[in-house]
Amino acid sequence: MSRKLSATATDFIDDAHLTALLERPRPDSRRVRDLVAKSLDKQALAVEETADLLLADDPELVEEIFAAARTLKETVYGNRIVLFAPLYIGSECINDCAYCGFRRSNPDAVRRTLDLDEIRRQVTALEEKGQKRLILVFGEHPKYNAEFIAESVRTVYGVKVGHGEIRRVNINAAPLDKAGYEIVKEAGIGTYQVFQETYHHPTYAQVHPRLTAKGDYLWRLDALSRAMEAGLDDVGIGALFGLYDWRFEVLGLVRHALFLQELYGVGPHTISFPRLRPASGVQLDEKWQVADRDFLRLIAILRLSVPYTGMILTAREDAALRRQALSFGVSQIDAGTRIELGGYTEAGDTQCMEREQFTIGDVRSLDEVMRELVVDGHVPSFCTACYRLGRTGEHFMEFAIPGFIKRFCTPNALTTLLEYLVDYGSEETRAAGERIIAEELAKLPEDALKRELVSRLDRIRTTEDRDLYF
């Protein structure tokens, strides 16, 4: 792999500027309300404006920010939640990231790379539970090059068990060069995620030793620009919260999103905000640990600042916090998650730290999560229609095109939910799921689209027809 940067490579993170923005006086309540109104009017916020929301820590204003994030979520996106599962392919790693169980200096880590048959067995187990969307996760290692990633993706798509199939494969792996992104795009990937981990240069240098592959800040910051140059415009950004001041990282994420938007005309498809978890042999300063309330604040502020982007909340967080965070604009969660290599067939009920990158907080089964979602009034969705029909940037379309959600997202959420209930759901989950389907149908106008949807739902209940997307 060459280390050639993109044509536009530039270090667009100015630490001093972002820090200075956070050292200004608190904004008054009028300013905060104006910003909230701007976001509710579906306009993205500038970095300076985001900083003002971050500075607003008066409890009353924080509540207003929470309420606004809830309103934005409800009025723009509705009650759908997309579900996926991670599949760890390999834990070999040449890097030495201070926070990660896979880092090369950790002698206790069990190193393993799934071969193609092992991948097929994991995917079979995932399909038998009802999963339709996966993210493949890799350490950074010469073995895990673009061809290897592409081969893993093709292998996953090739596994079909009964009504089971994986309809979208996303990737979280080390940055590639432009040619590498072309190869993985060709294999039919969905989103390619690269998290900057921390946007703060000194902290980045502290946790990523300089002589490791990941030690090069700009190579990583430029990663998704190279993807864009390769024609892979479905990319995900993220920061690992707990390494540095969470407010600085939010500004970094917003700056990154705006940079991609301005340069390539398309912002990130998703933003991830993993919070640091205990990991094998990892002892990190707790100074920057993010408290639950601040974590919820950062989710709400990201929702308001980058209102057109999907937001991912993983099983690193426990069930109670995930439940709370859903109302602030999270659009995707994983469920039924195991992150040990081979964990979907081999692991027992307890987590084994040496076999995984970090420990997770929500180990419930997919069915349990599905049940809680529908009982709480969410509509779990396994929809993959836009990506398969070439409607890329679907989250942006949901946001920007009036009527898009009603016409595509809701019908596809309901058909994919019903597929799950009929093919994999427990009795209790099916009953609760059918109730929410009926409630959602009742909200739709009596038109041709609804008649077609009702007819497709009946086909799913009474025939073997599946994958009936709009």
Give contact residues for ligand SAM (rule: CB under 6 A).
99-100, 137-140, 172-174, 194-195, 197, 240, 274, 276-277, 279, 282, 316, 357-358
Q: Rounded to the nearest whole angstrom, what is the least distance from the CB of residue 137 to ligand SAM in the complex?
A: 5
Taking CA 462 as the corner, what is the angle to CA 458 and CA 464, rounded to the nearest 5 degrees?
A: 110
CA 290, distance to chain mean position in Å, is 19
- Interaction between residue 316 and ligand SF4 (CB under 6 A): no
Q: Which lies closer to ligand SAM via its Cβ, residue 138 or residue 181?
A: 138
Q: Which stretch binds ligand SF4 (CB under 6 A): 100-108, 251-259, 329-337, 438-446?
A: 100-108
d(CA 31, CA 199): 27
- Interaction between residue 97 and ligand SF4 (CB under 6 A): yes
d(CA 427, CA 83): 20
> SS3 string of 259-288?
HHHHHHCCCCCEEECCECCCCCCCCCCCCC
Interface residue with ligand SF4 among 6, 39, 95, 113 (CB under 6 A) is 95
Q: Rounded to the nearest whole angstrom, what is the least distance from the CB of residue 95 to ligand SAM in the complex?
A: 7
Interface residue with ligand SF4 among 12, 45, 65, 103 (CB under 6 A) is 103
d(CA 371, CA 272): 24
Q: Which stretch binds ligand SF4 (CB under 6 A): 94-102, 180-188, 294-302, 454-462?
A: 94-102
- Interaction between residue 93 and ligand SF4 (CB under 6 A): yes
Residue 198-237 contact track with ligand SF4, rule CB under 6 A, x = bound: ----------------x-----------------------
**Residue 200, both tokens:** 């703060």
Contacts with 282 (C-beta within 8 Å, 6 or more apart), sequence order: 98, 99, 100, 101, 358
Kindly determine how many residues on this chain lie close enough to bind ligand SF4 according to the rule CB under 6 A.
9
- Interaction between residue 149 and ligand SF4 (CB under 6 A): no
Q: Which lies closer to ligand SF4 via its Cβ, residue 53 or residue 176?
A: 176
Q: Rounded to the nearest whole angstrom, what is the least distance from the CB of residue 330 to ligand SAM in the complex?
A: 17
Q: Which stretch binds ligand SF4 (CB under 6 A): 96-104, 154-162, 294-302, 388-396?
A: 96-104
Q: How many residues appear in the chain?
A: 470
Measured between alpha carbons, how far apart are the two ends of the chain, in Å? 40
**Residue 241, both tokens:** 């919260």
- Interaction between residue 140 and ligand SF4 (CB under 6 A): yes
Q: Rounded to the nearest whole angstrom, what is the least distance from the CB of residue 240 to ligand SAM in the complex?
A: 4
Torsion, CA 173, CA 243, CA 207, CA 19, rounded to 10: 110
Q: Rounded to the nearest whole angstrom, what is the least distance from the CB of residue 355 to ligand SAM in the complex?
A: 14
Q: Judging by beta carbons within 10 Å of its beta carbon (0-12, 13-18, 19+), is residue 387 exposed, middle or buried?
A: buried
**Residue 450, both tokens:** 């609804």
Contacts with 50 (C-beta within 8 Å, 6 or more apart), sequence order: 250, 251, 254, 301, 305
**Residue 154, both tokens:** 């093709």
Residue 51-90 contact track with ligand SF4, rule CB under 6 A, x = bound: ----------------------------------------
| Residue 235, phi then psi, degrees to nearest 5 | -130, 155
Q: Which lies closer to ligand SF4 via its Cβ, residue 144 or residue 387?
A: 144
d(CA 185, CA 401): 26
CB 318 within 8 A of CB 364: no
Q: Rounded to the nearest whole angstrom, what is the least distance from the CB of residue 193 to ligand SAM in the complex?
A: 8
Q: Which lies closer to ligand SAM via its Cβ, residue 206 or residue 426?
A: 206
Closest by Cα among 429, 433, 419 to 464: 419
Q: Which lies closer to ligand SAM via its Cβ, residue 46 or residue 319?
A: 319
Q: Which lies closer to ligand SF4 via its Cβ, residue 119 or residue 453?
A: 119
**Residue 350, both tokens:** 């307890």
Q: Which residues bind ligand SF4 (CB under 6 A)?
A: 93, 95, 97, 100, 102-103, 139-140, 214
